[in-house]
């Protein structure tokens, strides 16, 4: 498929749309971004720089409203902002989206408009049932908002996936690609997926590997060394601090690059002992994680937890923050002067990070 230019002119004319959503050959679609967190701000700035008319939909009086206005955007209430938009991008946290859609977006979004998400969670798990007249698409950059913005500014782009859930106009895929191009995603190879695949793989990656798996592996490694009598500071360096070096090699050139830059001793140890840790039981547990994502168990648990006030979530998160490795890390990082001069860290690209 030939992807559009990073800043394409929109060339569709949709005869079935109302005058509010009509598109001509000389205009780009008018876009409303609902939410102005990490992803929302990056998308809005990139789209504006690509020549799109962008309005921000936010609740009045909040800090994000101040930030969006300082960035020069027109800010309206979500209800007002979506009325004239041809594309409405919902970039708020997953758990607030169903109520936001039902009470604010659905009653006000124009006939024939395009509803866009950056994560398929609510549509895939039936928390949002989009109105039948709408195109419904997904555009998900595979990186945090700050990186999406930074890569765009230097003329590159963060790879993205896109999907079409509902194609009422017959042009939903082009709308998704136009938006993807506007945020810089078409400068890389935009990969077509489905709401199901994006949602399930995204949840699995963060639960089994990126966030859940990596955190528990680091904590368990540190605990093993400390319980064996080694200094907690030395254990911190070996099990947490140096992880960045390996992840950077993965990022730059995959497992091949790691093997190019680590010692033969490290290679032999990894090749002969890695299966001690990630064994058949680990793989079975990963399959369990995936099954609970596929059959909706995880989604039901998380939705119920949020509805009940997040008491368990808050307790589990606090336990992570109170882990002894965190106290050791704070002391050691206080002496890492280069951290204070480094660019501000970007927020991880996890599903509800768009808020």
Residues annotated within a binding site for substrate: 263
Q: Which residues are annotated as a binding site for Mg(2+)?
A: 202, 206, 238, 242
Q: Count of alpha carbons within 13 Å of 53, Cβ hemisphere only? A: 12
The answer to whether residue 43 is catalytic is no
Calpha distance 234→232 (Å, rounded): 5
What residues contact 4, with CB distance under 8 A and at least 6 apart?
174, 177, 178, 181, 186
Give the annotated binding-site residues for NADP(+).
36-39, 59, 64, 145
Give yes or no for a contact between 85 and 113, defined as CB atoms under 8 angstroms apart: yes
Which residues, in sequence order, are bridge partners of residue 163? Answer: 138
CA distance 59 to 36: 10
Q: Which residues of 30-67 are buried (b: 16+ CB within 10 A; e: fewer)?
A: bbbbbbbbbbbbbbbbbbbbbebbbbbbbeeeeebbeb
244: phi then psi, degrees, rounded to nearest 5: -60, -40
Which is catalytic among the residues 119, 171, 241, 323?
119
Q: Which residues are documented as binding site?
A: 36-39, 59, 64, 145, 202, 206, 238, 242, 263
Residues forming the active site: 119
């Amino acid at each position: 498929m030939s992807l559009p230019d990073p800043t394409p002119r929109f060339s569709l004319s949709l005869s079935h749309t109302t005058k509010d959503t009509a598109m001509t050959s000389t205009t780009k679609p008018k876009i409303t971004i609902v939410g102005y967190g990490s992803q929302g701000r990056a998308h809005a700035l990139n789209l504006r720089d690509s020549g799109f008319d962008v309005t921000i939909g936010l609740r009045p009086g909040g800090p994000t409203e101040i930030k969006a206005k300082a960035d020069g955007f027109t800010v309206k209430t979500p209800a007002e902002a979506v009325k004239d938009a041809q594309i409405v991008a919902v970039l708020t946290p997953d758990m607030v989206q169903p109520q936001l859609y039902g009470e604010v977006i659905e009653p006000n979004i124009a006939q024939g408009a395009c509803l866009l998400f950056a994560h398929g969670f609510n549509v895939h798990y039936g928390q949002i049932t989009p109105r039948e007249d709408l195109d419904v698409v997904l555009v998900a950059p595979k990186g945090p908002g700050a990186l999406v913005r930074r890569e765009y500014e230097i003329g590159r782009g963060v790879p993205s996936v896109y999907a079409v859930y509902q194609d009422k106009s017959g042009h939903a895929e082009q709308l998704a690609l136009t938006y993807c191009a506007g945020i810089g995603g078409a400068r890389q190879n935009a990969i077509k997926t489905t709401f199901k695949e994006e949602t399930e793989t995204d949840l699995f990656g963060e639960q089994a590997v990126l966030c859940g798996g990596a955190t528990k592996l680091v904590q368990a490694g540190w605990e093993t060394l400390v319980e064996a009598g080694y200094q907690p500071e030395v254990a911190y360096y070996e099990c947490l601090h140096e992880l960045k070096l390996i992840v950077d090699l993965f990022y730059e050139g995959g497992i091949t690059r790691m093997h190019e830059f680590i010692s033969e001793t490290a290679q032999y140890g990894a090749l002969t002992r890695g299966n001690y840790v990630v064994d058949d039981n680990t793989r079975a547990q990963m399959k369990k994680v995936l099954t609970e994502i596929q059959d909706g168990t995880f989604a039901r648990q998380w939705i119920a937890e949020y509805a009940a006030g997040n008491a368990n979530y808050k307790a589990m998160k606090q336990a992570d923050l109170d882990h002894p490795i965190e106290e050791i890390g704070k002391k050691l990082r206080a002496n890492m002067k280069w951290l204070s001069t480094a660019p501000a860290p970007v927020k991880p690209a996890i599903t509800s990070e768009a808020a």
